[in-house]
Amino acid sequence: MKKNADFLPLLLMVALSALVAGCTTARVEYDRMTGTQYPQPVTVSGDQVDLTSIYWQGERIVTVTEDNTNIAVLTGPANPLDPNQYDYINRAEIETLETANRADPIGSSTFNCGLWNRFTCTRYHLYGVVVNHYWEGDCGTACRDTGLLGVMYAGASGITNDRSAFVGFWRNSTVNSDNGKFLRSTAHEIGHAFNNNHCDGDGSMTIMNQTGVVGNTYNYQFSATSLDHLQNHADTAVWPGLGARDYACPHSH
């Protein structure tokens, strides 16, 4: 990661350029259920690391708006045939939750910005939610998974296929006990929303290798392949909410 002495001037230049001209950013509208927490910043070699600093590596400006913090945990009448039913949440239930709580649009919005509002800024939108449940996959009870940390669920199997939303599973023991890995997992799922794939390979410490398989040897950096995608591929293939996820490795857009 960049030292603070290097990183702060970069952020200042970004802010000044936005005042003079326009800018393009992504905003995470971030909700959570009661009894959960958001991933918190961590300190690495004296530097604060958060979702914004992680994505600045890829020259993408990502801001986070912590929004609804009181979404109710799913519950209902007890089913003696399935006593653990409400420990889990499925894709349809997550998408219903998103529909009820998401305020930002899918895709982009524009607004006047810069000095005297002479320019136009573009903002892309991503919805995230921390749920107090485990994941139930698309094949129902047979696909219940207590080991999954998070999912970018607005992908090929979802109602929408636009890379516009992700979820973290607070009931997972790693998520609720290891903030550093929770932050990394969240950055990983947002990476899928930016159309990054599992191209890092087993044994890699970088973000797009799954947090659940890296053990305690990991970092908050993108691989060269992921950085090339974020920095050099067409915006329509990178910004969230703009189309289907591409599963190719290496990335091909």
Give the tens place of pLDDT for each residue, 32-89.
Answer: 999 999 999 999 999 999 999 999 999 999 999 999 999 999 999 999 999 999 999 9
What is the residue range of 98's domain? 34-52+78-103+129-238
Instruction: Look at residue 26 and tell me if it is in a domain.
Output: no
Residue type, 39: P
Instruction: Look at residue 71 and tell me if it is in a domain.
Output: no
Domain total of the chain: 1
- Map 69-85 to HEC letters: CCECCCCCCCCCCCCCH
Residue type, 112: N
Instruction: Look at residue 17 and tell me if it is in a domain.
Output: no
Instruction: Look at residue 166 and tell me if it is in a domain.
Output: yes
Average pLDDT over residues 114-130: 87
Average pLDDT over residues 132-151: 95
Instruction: Look at residue 121 and tell me if it is in a domain.
Output: no
CA-only gyration radius of the chain, Å: 18
Instruction: Between 47 and 200, name the one with better pLDDT.
Output: 47
- Residues of the chain with pLDDT > 90, as a percent, come to 71
DSSP designation for 180 = H
Instruction: Look at residue 187 and tell me if it is in a domain.
Output: yes
| pLDDT single digits (tens) 132-141 | 999 999 898 9
CATH number reported for the structural domain that contains residue 39 in this entry:
3.40.390
Gap between the Cα atoms of 253 and 248, Å rounded: 9
Gap between the Cα atoms of 162 and 252, Å rounded: 17
Beta bridge partners of 151: 167
Q: pTM, whole model, 2 decimals?
A: 0.89
Instruction: Look at residue 60 and tell me if it is in a domain.
Output: no
Instruction: Look at residue 25 and tell me if it is in a domain.
Output: no
Gap between the Cα atoms of 186 and 182, Å rounded: 6
